[in-house]
Amino acid sequence: MSRKIIIGSRESRLAVIQTEMVKTYIETHCPDIQVDVLTMKTTGDVILDRTLDQVGGKGLFVKELDKALMEKRSDLSVHSLKDMPMEVSEKLPLVAFSKREDPRDVLVLPEGVTELKFDKPIGCSSKRRILQLQELYPQATFATVRGNVLTRLRKLDEGNFSALILAAAGLKRLGLEERISRFLEPEEMIPAAGQGILGIQGRSGEDYRFLKTYDDPEARACALCERAFVRVLDGGCSSPVAAHARIQNGQILLLGLYYNEEDGGYLKGSLTGPADQSESLGEKLALQLKAEYGRSKKA
């Protein structure tokens, strides 16, 4: 007997491509499931004249999709995991994590330009990126850029910025890898928690066993580790907390950035531990960096 699944997605081209990737996977591996896509504009897609922390943070990109799930207009939502709030309702759990695409941030120059000039600001929409870029490019200035990836690229090519900082994963999924001028390694620029991973959100009480083979154990462990780090530090969308985990030989290596809201100072650090204890490793590094920063201020 065939079953019908409706996947909720944001309307942006990247969101639709990511949702289509999940749709194709389900259709290929579960031929008895018919998959439809329901697209919608989220508040975060509509309010573009202010930074995210001024208008309510990451929840803006999921609110409408959550509502559709709760009202049973959709059965799944596909999100870029980095856009999801760290606290997820028990009624709408994360049921699967995609294999991770390139998690790095990248530098994108205007078309035809080969080297970074500092006569215009770098377009950058997160404090996390700006903090770390100031170390790499102390002479740079920064300006907020909002909108989807294609809108940002248009603004760059129109001459508004000297460069953009974007996620490699989005550009690769859009087929725009040739726009990447430089990859920023995690040691130079710690990515946002979950960057490069798609989070599949469902409704509690439903049967999602058809996603069992879609769920990537390595991406899941890294995602839970990074999200635990950020959650302990209460790092919402506006707080420039960063976390990146990778697994080697059954061990998980976590890089983290702690930011102190009161004085604007920050501290980076790393920790290694067993991959099957990823969440507790994330929590441990968060508490360690916070304590270490506190001690350094008293010293």
Taking the CA atoms of residue 98, residue 102, residue 108 and residue 114 in that order, the dihedral angle to the nearest 10 degrees is -150
Give the SS3 label for residue 90.
Answer: coil
Long-range contacts of 171-175 (CB under 8 A, 24+ apart): 171/106, 171/108, 172/101, 172/102, 173/14, 173/17, 173/18, 173/21, 173/101, 174/13, 174/14, 174/17, 174/149, 174/150
**C-beta of residue 94 within 8 angstroms of C-beta of residue 204:** no
CB neighbour list of residue 252: distance below 8 Å, 6 or more residues apart: 221, 222, 225, 245, 246, 272, 273, 274, 275, 277, 278, 281
Other beta carbons within 10 Å of 209 = 8
Please list the active-site residues.
83
